[in-house]
Amino acid sequence: MSGLSFVERLAALDKPDEGNDTEQIWFIVRTFLGILRVLIFVSIIVIAEMLEEIFIGNLSLAVWSLIVGIPMFVLVSSLIIIGNKQFVKKRSAKTAILRPIVERV
């Protein structure tokens, strides 16, 4: 079974995608949220390793980075999950199987 030829792939580029405007905007926002999530994760590690001698309110800055960073990471992750459920519509995958197995007996 072979894939699409080069000419077929070029022709497919001319066809408009099936996504609507809100879906396209969500993909852009989701990209920035994903980058923000990685930055939060890296900053938690850097602050925890580099600034553990500094104390604020009887807690080291390493502990504060965990106290503030982990809820921010969870919040951004949940925003991504909720946004995917809200803005990305389910596309039915076309398959060659007429009646696929839903549940094994």
Domain boundaries, the chain: 18-86
CA 96 from centroid of its chain's CA atoms: 30
| 9-26 tens-digit pLDDT | 877 777 776 667 888 888
pLDDT of residue 1: 46
More confident residue, 56 or 92: 56
Would you say residue 68 has pLDDT above 70?
yes
Distance CA 51, CA 19 (A): 46
Cα dist from 104 to 58, 97, 98, 99, 100, whole Å: 57, 16, 17, 13, 11
Mean pLDDT of the chain: 83
Percentage of the chain modeled with pLDDT above 70: 80
Would you say residue 70 has pLDDT above 80?
yes
